[in-house]
Amino acid sequence: MNRTTLSLIAGTTALAAVTGFAALSAPDAPGTDTAAKAAAQLPVERTSLVCPAPSTSDLAETSYTSFTPVTKGTGSGGKAELRAAAEESADDLVDGKDEGTGKDAGKSGKDKPAEPVLTPKEPGKPVTGDSSGGDAPALVGTADGRFAPGWTVQETTEVAAGTGRGLQGVNCTAPDTDFWFPGVSTDADRTDYVHLTNPDDSAAVVDIELYGKDGVLKSAVGESITVPPHSSEPVLLSTLTDERQTNLTVHVNVRSGRVGAAVQALDDKLGGDWLAASADPSGSLVLPGIPKDATSVRLVAFTPADADADLKVRLASPSGLITPAGHETVHVKGGMTTAVDLGDVTRGEAGSLVLTPTDRSVPVVAALRVVRGKGDKQETAFIPASRPVGTRATSADNSGKDSTLSLTAPRAAATVRVTASVGSEGGTPVSKTYTIKAGTTQDIEAPVPGGLKGTYALTVEPVSGGPVYGARTLAASEGGVPAFTVQTLPDDRGTVAVPEADEDLSVLQK
């Protein structure tokens, strides 16, 4: 979670946050009211992202797309870049040895670091890169100045055959200290890894807990996992326990330091995808953007509370909120994972799942496993519970014909503006405004840049009305398999609330 620290230095107050820094103004004149004034929303000045290693398959083809939306008030300076996690800077090396471990680093401390994988040139224009095979490393990125607010990086991998074949996509995430992943598995047909990436100069210590249908699974090897500085550790979940269960929840708890975490869930028969962390435990959840041609949808839910949770299950369809027949409610026992097969719940229409408490509110995390296709031509993707779009959300790596933007207004009607950026190789931006009726999900015909060349980004900004949730689906055809991947669109946290503060020198006298 973002942490905020207030410090007083020579009568000047400064606010420092993980994602940004902003100076607070001094009073205009003496004698004015010293009470804190209304907070201003200012652009963050620094953002960190980590991207997991994309695949171990020799058949993998991976693309990266970086995009920062243009944000007012950022000035003209700054830069952004993505580097391999294992590439330490020259400052970390002394006489060819790692300063922290003393081990031979394999290069001189005077060597220059390798070139970045991606270096965006300007906000508002996507930049792309690619890699082939199973040796691509995890990436660590930083952006500051005008590149920091809303910086988004998408990692998309196509695997032609083998376990997890199909389309795998993930948004690179900010490092954090707490993650919940409902929907993982240790079944014989599944190969699930939780990827832990440490972007910092000191080691991180992580606990991985598994919760099944009967509660926590015993595992001594899931405790105190050390992730060295500037490195990534893929942990195979089936090595943490002898139990084989189809539906599990993983809790990643960082004891010291911080990491980026994502689960790569690969199936021998149903393809695979990345499972991003669920939104923080909450009494009400929205899981947006179920593809209209989904042939199977499974809800996996978990509550970390001691009390049980009873949830009302509704589908936000294009015509409004409906209750799936036979699945009006779901009972989630405290500390236990619950799975419910909803079948082809969307029945050919766009949909999002809305979970609300039937009585008292108990915090819950949840995710959907979504399958498209039939027989041996099936593919899997995952949709975790998401935060709302908030002020702004961005989806990178879009093409004109293979991208579907799905928007949901679960409680009240909302108006949103969707902007298609310039293309990575050319084109002109286009914006359109849409109204989403209360309780509905709409697959909108998103704008496409004029004269598009390459890929582009979509930025969603609510204009008025209630909260909006969103997701973007990428689709591709892989030998008759309807390959796809879904990424939700939570607020990009490109701005931070900064209260105005006055000098109070009296605190120096205490």
The per-residue DSSP string of 223-272 comes to SSEEE-TTEEEEEEGGGS-S---SSEEEEEEEEES-BEEEEEEEETTTEE
Q: Is the pLDDT of residue 504 over 70?
A: no
Nearest CA to 337 out of 314, 371, 365 is that of 365
When pLDDT is averaged across residues 463-473 and rounded to a whole number, the result is 98
First to last CA, the chain: 32
Q: 385: which residues sit within 8 A by CB, 6+ positions away?
A: 278, 279, 282, 285, 286, 287, 355, 365, 366, 367
Would you mind telling me the total number of residues written for the chain in this entry? Answer: 510
Model confidence band, residue 76 (pLDDT cutoffs 50, 70, 90): confident
CATH architecture of 393-476: Sandwich (2.60)
Return the domain boundaries, the chain. Answer: 4-44+498-509, 393-476
Model confidence band, residue 112 (pLDDT cutoffs 50, 70, 90): low
pLDDT at 399: 86
Q: Is the pLDDT of residue 20 over 60?
A: no
Q: For a pLDDT cut of 70, what percent of the chain falls above it?
A: 85
CB atoms near residue 308 (< 10 Å): 15
When pLDDT is averaged across residues 79-84 and rounded to a whole number, the result is 94
Q: How many Å apart are CA 326 and CA 456, to the nearest integer?
A: 41
List the single range of 24-28, 63-67, 156-160, 495-499 with lowest mean pLDDT: 24-28
When pLDDT is averaged across residues 54-59 and rounded to a whole number, the result is 94
CA 133 vs CA 57, 155, 196, 336, 437: distances in Å: 6, 14, 21, 38, 45
Model confidence band, residue 510 (pLDDT cutoffs 50, 70, 90): low
Q: Determine the longest span between alpha carbons in the chain, in angstroms.
A: 76
pLDDT at 3: 37
Q: Is the pLDDT of residue 101 over 60?
A: no
CB–CB of 60/132 below 8 Å? yes
pLDDT, greater one: 41 or 47: 47
Nearest CA to 201 out of 120, 101, 59, 65 is that of 101
Average per-residue pLDDT for the chain: 87
When pLDDT is averaged across residues 229-236 and rounded to a whole number, the result is 96
Q: How many Å apart are CA 332 and CA 326, to the nearest integer?
A: 16
pLDDT at 439: 98
pTM value? 0.87
When pLDDT is averaged across residues 241-259 and rounded to a whole number, the result is 97
Nearest CA to 75 out of 7, 119, 22, 2 is that of 22
pLDDT, greater one: 253 or 495: 253
